[in-house]
Amino acid sequence: MKSGFTGPLESIGCCCHRIPKSYKTGMRVDGHIYANDKLLEAIRKDQAPDQVANVAMLPGIQVASIAMPDIHWGYGFCIGGVCATDPEEGGVISPGGVGYDINCGVRFIKTNLYLDDVKHHMKKLVKALFYTVPSGAGRTGRYKFDATETRRLMGEGPRFVIDRGLGVARDLDHTEANGRIDDADPHQVSDHAVKRGAEQCGTLGSGNHFLEVQVVDSVFDADVAKVFGLELNQICVMIHSGSRGLGYQVCDDSLAAFRNCSTKYGFELPDRQLACAPVDSPEGRKYIAAMRAAANYGFCNRQLLMQQAREVFAGVFGRSWEDLGMEQLYDVAHNIAKLEEHTVDGKKKKVWVHRKGATRAFPAGHPEVPEKYRTVGQPVIIPGDMGRASWVLVGSQGAMEKTFGTTCHGAGRAMSRTAALKDGAGRRIDRELEHKGVIAMASSRNGLAEEQPKAYKNVDDVVDVVHEADLSRRVARMRPLGVIKG
């Protein structure tokens, strides 16, 4: 790994540190990194802040290049990176600002079960989930779609499968963008990408993707928790996955198409991984249409994962999923670019907000917050590691003022996968977790070693920062009881 960041990080307010645009020639705006002193020490050991500075050079960037406290090194953009570009000022779209796993995101499901109802059934439940929900690199699942159906699915999102009995219409009400981003064009997605996605919808994948059974162990805002339907000792399910091989291929295809765009359109980039094109160029429009289609696939993937989890719970507890109260709280993307209206220098304008490992966090009253939650704000789902905790937060006005309506997306890695594997060599991570009260099953021991709790920052520290900075507010904390991984 490269050496750490030695540039300036100037404190400019509550948990916010600035990389001045004078740091590197070509920076159009400052960089802003949200962190407390504890996290800042770790951030300085990484070169991700240099990526924040590089993003500040993108044409049309507005206000600042931003990073969340779960920042770590990524492809082009850091993980935890946020930037907004204005198409009226030559703004660009960058696949590196979305990531390879387009619409990687999180879905959170409530139940009417409590800890006493499930604690003696956890091994049976986790085993049933593991053998029902496909996980692991390249795995296919029980749902097969031909090319025509896959393209329809990308156009319609989860409604395509809900109309086939795999869910209910109210699931859409509690999904970002109602599970369908407008103006997607599945015909801009390559045949190779479609082929990769045809048998992977409804599968977890590998890496940091998971399905986890959790219990609410703390409630921090009782009023918001009541609106969200959360209470102490309640059992919930969290699903973290994205658009699988289809999204990866859309990104890969687009990076190849963007390779020479900086020369074609007359701008310079400090890193070829920041390949981008003007929003209104043929290359930009093609990527946006394909990215939106892949995002709709991602929503559909999590819909099918949720439906399989519902079926498993019904089988284990001998009651229908409806009778178990398995209702979706929310589904939110954290690898996405969207055209949104924001106030910049006192003027409302439409900008392309890139969120790469960062979560939308709209406040109370925002028209895109589901009606049921509009009085309090958008639910924000923040997964942690499989040994400590995850969180439900709520969107805050501060995010609209500081970060284009954005907050963190998770704990953020503290160790590379290689380092985590080395650290886990010879250990039984599953037994260590079971000793802590967590039943874990994975396709391989390496998968568990890569994702061991030690490999991640403490998500509580990350949440402390976004709460103190008023990017989102604490509602409830969950601890893991059982998890399946690839």
Catalytic residue at 409? yes
Residue 445: per-residue pLDDT:
83
Residue 1: per-residue pLDDT:
44
Show me where the domains of the chain are located: 10-485
pLDDT truncated to tens, each residue of the chain (486 aa)?
A: 457 999 999 999 999 999 999 999 999 999 999 999 999 999 999 999 999 999 999 999 999 999 999 999 999 999 999 999 999 999 999 999 999 999 999 999 999 999 999 999 999 999 999 999 999 888 888 999 999 999 999 999 999 999 999 999 999 999 999 999 999 999 999 999 999 999 999 999 998 999 999 999 999 999 999 999 999 999 999 999 999 999 999 999 999 999 999 999 999 999 999 999 999 999 999 999 999 999 999 999 999 999 999 999 999 999 999 999 999 999 999 999 999 999 999 999 999 999 999 999 999 999 999 999 999 999 999 999 999 999 999 999 999 999 999 999 999 999 999 999 999 998 999 999 999 999 999 988 888 999 999 999 999 999 999 999 999 999 999 999 999 998
Measured between alpha carbons, how far is 336 from 81 in angstroms, rounded to an integer? 11
Q: What distance lies between CA 65 and its chain's CA centroid?
A: 19
Q: Binding site residues for GMP, as ranges?
A: 208-212, 334-335, 383-386, 390, 409-412, 485
Q: Active-site residue among 174, 409, 435, 467?
A: 409
- In the CATH hierarchy, which top-level class contains the domain 10-485? alpha beta
Amino acid identity, position 351: V
Strands, sheet with 347-356, edge to edge from the N-terminal-most edge strand: 10-13, 16-19, 30-34, 64-72, 79-85, 347-356, 335-344
Q: Binding site residues for Mn(2+), as ranges?
A: 101, 209, 240, 334
Please name the residue that has the structure tokens 């162990």: 217
Q: Binding site residues, as ranges?
A: 101, 208-212, 240, 334-335, 383-386, 390, 409-412, 485
Sign of CA dihedral 124, 129, 135, 140: positive
Residue 2: per-residue pLDDT:
58
What are the angstrom distances between the C-alpha of 184 and each of 87, 105, 214, 300, 357? 19, 18, 34, 14, 22
Measured between alpha carbons, how far is 235 from 66 in angstroms, rounded to an integer? 35
Torsion of CA 359, 61, 340, 189, to 10 degrees: -80
